[in-house]
Amino acid sequence: MRAAELDLDLDVFAGPFDLLMTLVLREELDLAEVALGEVVVAYVEHLEAAGELDLEAATEFLVLIASLLELKSRLLLPRGDEEEAQLGPEEAADELLARMLEYARYRDAAAHLKELFGAGRRYLYRLAPLPPELRRVSLEGARPSYEPEQLAVALGDLLRAPPAPDTSHIRPTVSLERRLTVLRELLGRRRSFDFDELFADEDRLTQAVTLFALLEMHKRGEASWTQKETFGPIHVEAL
């Protein structure tokens, strides 16, 4: 199961895992109070109940938990003033997002390399040395190792132009600065808008980066939003 589908019941939080991540990144929930060990136990129990292991989903969960553990350790361990000034809560949230994006890129690249490796297994290469009788004889006395037709087909495959590489599996890079530009242009024209109405058709990655851009605008005093109920529509307004 995906990490986002994990339903948690902790002392300080009850709900889906992706909502927990959102509250922590927005600093609406103190990460120091979240028992991450209970989150791991809940995930393992769900895996045992399902009776199967999805390596891709498990790897995604491990990356998220490892990032949360590192952030929590920075909150709990004593640090000097200079180190605290280097990495604040906003920078920590940006670092976590950057690691998630980097993990997604490496995961997609690994899937593409696996496809290329599977396609290459169709071809066999000669690893054995020449037969002894062919090592010191003239070309006229050598006997063919392959049928001429088979050799012609092999050479023809080498001369054929390869197909264009498929890049559909590569996700486009979602820039925080670009999403800030999009939000500022929207608020410059309309002064307010409904988040779900404009961004519901975007992929989850673009939606997440747009939310981070909205948080950045709120921090700078450029925009604000209202949400009357949990999981309800988000109305964004310019300040």
Q: Which domain does 99 fall in, by range? A: 1-78+88-119
- Whether residues 106 and 203 share a domain: the answer is no
- Whether residues 109 and 181 share a domain: the answer is no
The answer to the question of residue 33 being in a domain is yes
- Whether residues 99 and 17 share a domain: the answer is yes
Where are any strands of DSSP class E within 96-194? Answer: 192-194
The answer to the question of residue 94 being in a domain is yes
- Whether residues 3 and 71 share a domain: the answer is yes
Buried b (16+ CB within 10 A) or exposed e, 203-238: eebbbbbbbbbbbbbeeeeebebeeeeeeeebbbeb
- Whether residues 37 and 113 share a domain: the answer is yes
- Angle in degrees, CA 238, 28, 5, rounded to 5: 100
Which pLDDT does position 85 carry in this prediction? 46
- Angle in degrees, CA 94, 99, 104, rounded to 5: 125
Q: How many domains does the chain have?
A: 2
The answer to the question of residue 140 being in a domain is no
Tell me which residue of 26, 32, 33, 22 sits closest to 64, measured CA to CA.
22
pLDDT tens over the chain, length 239 residues? 566 667 777 777 788 777 777 777 777 777 777 888 888 888 888 777 777 777 777 777 787 778 788 777 777 766 554 444 455 566 666 777 777 777 778 888 888 888 888 887 777 666 777 777 666 666 666 666 667 788 888 888 888 888 888 877 766 677 788 888 888 888 888 888 888 888 888 877 788 888 888 888 888 888 888 888 877 788 888 88
- Whether residues 220 and 115 share a domain: the answer is no
pTM of the full structure: 0.33
